[in-house]
Amino acid sequence: MKSGPDQDLLDDAIQHLMDATSNLRSIFSPGQRAFNRGSAPTALSASPRKFLAFCAFVKLMRQQSNFFTEPTSVLAITVPHDWPIDDFEYVADLCLKPRDGGFSRLKTFLHPPRNKRGAWDFNPNSYLDAQKLIVFLPRGAELHPAFAISADGVIDLESLDDRHVDSLARQMEAGPLSPDEKELLRQQDPIYIDSIFRRGRSAASALTRLRGLSSQSGSARKLVPLISYGEAGKWGLKLKSDFQRWRAGQLDWSDLDKGVLLYGPPGTGKTSFAASLAAECGAHLVPTSLSKWQSHGHLGDLLKAMRIDFAEARENAPSILLIDEIDSIGDRRAFSGDNKHYCIEVVNALLEALDGAGTREGVIVVASTNFPEALDPALLRSGRLETHVEMKRPSLKERAQVLHFYLPDLGSTKEFYEVARHLHGKTGADLEHLARKAKQRARDANRELRIEDLWDAVPLQSVLTDDERWRVSVHEAAHAVVTELSGLGHVTCIEVFDDIQDNVEVHDALGRTSSDCPIPAIKTEEWYRWDIAINLAGMAGEELLLGSRSTTAGGSRGSDVPSATETAAEMVAKFALGNRLAVFPDDVDRPVYQVIEDVPQLRAEIDGILDTEYARAKTLLEAERDTVIALARALKEARRLEGGRLEALLGDFKTPGRPTKPLELNG
């Protein structure tokens, strides 16, 4: 026989042809026919939901020819996280059960999460010995590394295809469904499918009833517009604009904020803001929290629930994922005891989820907390919760806007302003409650709502006496004068409030001085000392002009004296801006106040700084006594000073402007 290069080429060509013929035969072999698409009636007799699962599985497997033609194959299939995963084991057996010896070594496996110790409770090798293996797991769940390495593909199973739903409706004689009704069906929990599709009954009518039940469950709560949320609202409106440009293809997702931390006192609307943000952006809202994740059981279940929520956000993008009370996650630096490993695992898992920027396109994470200082710093880095917005109690204008929003047919803008003027310190939740009380009064009287109903709902108040109003005016005027003398910034508004509400802390109910102050990149010791002097100026002014001090400078964190104390503690315990070079930096496990309690020398040094700056503020005010008195008199009369009149009263202190950032002193 002739040999040589030409003969070798011919032999190779013949071999390739034989291989191709073998592959074609395998496709049409009895083994392939064991992929039984004729079992649909059996699936339908089991349940409508299993029929839809069967259709989805068949559609997916028709695209996986390699699974049938290759000698061995491993396929990982992720299914909708809220769909009972047992359905897919049933339909896989129905489609691929052995026939004439075909696929006799097929196995299916329902992939469980890690156990409470973070370990796997199964041996993957006992499944990987199968000739053909299909692994089912919920979308977003963790796949065992052994399966991830051996799998020929990890494929998402898409359920509730229009054609499959139409086929089910025809066979159940349940009537046709419109595109909107099919979309509503996709938004429901799959456990309702068997109730929606009952033979001879209208599926559309069942969906209408389900929609009504959903609205009654509280999901139809009226949402406050973003404009009523101050700085957070401005950020939200910017995000809304960016969302629109991203949808239009005019902006890359990488150019949008990845996440935001909302912090502030309870009741300021952090949670409701996320709902309003999602509504205005046309985004899907996924509300969650550590307590929700923990309700699923041990550590493995918690981590699974976390991943499922992130997966839901990705599936329904664009979406807003709200992590409420994120401070409960904790700070890895502070963990100790028997639960340390558990807590660290939770933080690490959340960091991993936040880092999935490549798989988070269309997902914005919003986290809320009352205690931002309790967070692990790693959560706040770029690409995670990189934007930080303080949620404050609404201003006068914002209070009026919120009242008008909840009571749109009641009163004029001026009347809402008059009511809002008596609601200083109230949160958005408080205002919504007042609006409900006003409506209830009108219902009880069986008549239309009146502005008097809203006035009657306003809490009992104690009106300031003339002497009390004078004291508060002196206090705020002293803050303003020392602020101007310091050169740290300029006063923009001074207020005295007309009344004290019974359920509002005293220092929040009396007055406020607002300033535009720059925050320098490098803070000097002098900057810190001026900041302390400004905080203590109100108390010093009272003692100087009235001969005594009062409770207006204290009472809670955020008021004058606690703020000054915290600043002084930061100076000496964190930055060595006192008499000692030893410091207690951020990465210690204890807050500054605990360090001070354990080191009496620091307490003495902090007291010395406070005494010195209090004396300085008092000396400055003595030199400007006439200006303080004139400013206090004008404030007592007007209740609020801003704009041109304030500039005229403080004209002697004004210096050329600089980059600024708002600062408010309460009390």
DSSP state at residue 493: E
Domain limits at 356? 226-390
Task: Please provide the DSSP assignment of 404-422 as one string.
Answer: HHHSTTSS-HHHHHHHHTT
> Which carries the bigger pLDDT value, residue 25 or residue 59?
59
Q: Does residue 24 sit within a domain?
A: no
Q: Does residue 16 sit within a domain?
A: no
Strand order in the sheet with 106-110: 106-110, 132-138, 73-79, 153-156
Task: Please give the single-letter amino acid code of residue 343.
Answer: C
175 & 34 share domain? no
Burial class (CB in 10 A: 0-12, 13-18, 19+), 266: exposed
500 & 353 share domain? no
Strand order in the sheet with 284-289: 284-289, 319-324, 363-369, 259-263, 387-390
Q: Does residue 22 sit within a domain?
A: no
Q: Is-contact 514 491, C-beta < 8 A? A: yes
What pLDDT is attached to residue 32?
44
Mean pLDDT of 20-27: 47
- The first and second tokens of residue 482, run together, are 């020392």
Q: Does residue 19 sit within a domain?
A: no
Q: Which of 585, 589, 590, 561 is nearest to 573 (CA)?
A: 585
47 & 191 share domain? no
Task: Please provide the DSSP assignment of 136-163 as one string.
Answer: EEETTPPPPHHHHHH-SEEEEPP---HH
CATH code, domain carrying 355: 3.40.50.300
3-state class (DSSP) for residue 250: coil
567 & 488 share domain? yes
What pLDDT is attached to residue 186?
85
95 & 171 share domain? no
Q: What pairs with residue 272 in β-bridges? A: none
Output the 3-class SS for 79-98. Answer: ECCCCCCHHHHHHHHHHHCC
566 & 486 share domain? yes
What are the distances in angstroms from CA 196 to CA 47, 579, 658? 11, 75, 65
Q: Please report, in angstroms and rounded to a whole number, the separation of the first and last CA atoms in the chain.
A: 108
208 & 70 share domain? no
Strand order in the sheet with 661-666: 640-642, 490-496, 511-517, 661-666
Q: Which of 377, 392, 381, 187 is nearest to 273 (CA)?
A: 392
Question: Picking from 68-82, 180-194, 271-285, 456-470, which range would have the lowest pLDDT averaged per residue?
Answer: 456-470
Read off φ and ψ for residue 630, nearest 5 degrees: -65, -40
102 & 167 share domain? no
Q: Does residue 4 sit within a domain?
A: no
pLDDT digits (tens, 9 = 90+) for 423-468: 877 777 788 889 999 999 989 999 888 888 888 888 766 678 889 8
Task: Give the end of a domain, one of 129, 156, 183.
Answer: 156
Task: Give the end of a domain, one of 156, 178, 198.
Answer: 156
125 & 175 share domain? no
pLDDT band at 118 (very low <50, low <70, confident <90, very high): low
Read off φ and ψ for residue 375, nearest 5 degrees: -85, 150
pLDDT band at 297 (very low <50, low <70, confident <90, very high): low
> Which carries the bigger pLDDT value, residue 10 or residue 502?
10
DSSP state at residue 465: P
Task: Give the end of a domain, one of 156, 180, 207.
Answer: 156
pLDDT digits (tens, 9 = 90+) for 333-367: 777 777 787 788 888 888 888 887 445 678 899 99
Q: Could you give the number of structural domains in the chain?
A: 5
250 & 386 share domain? yes
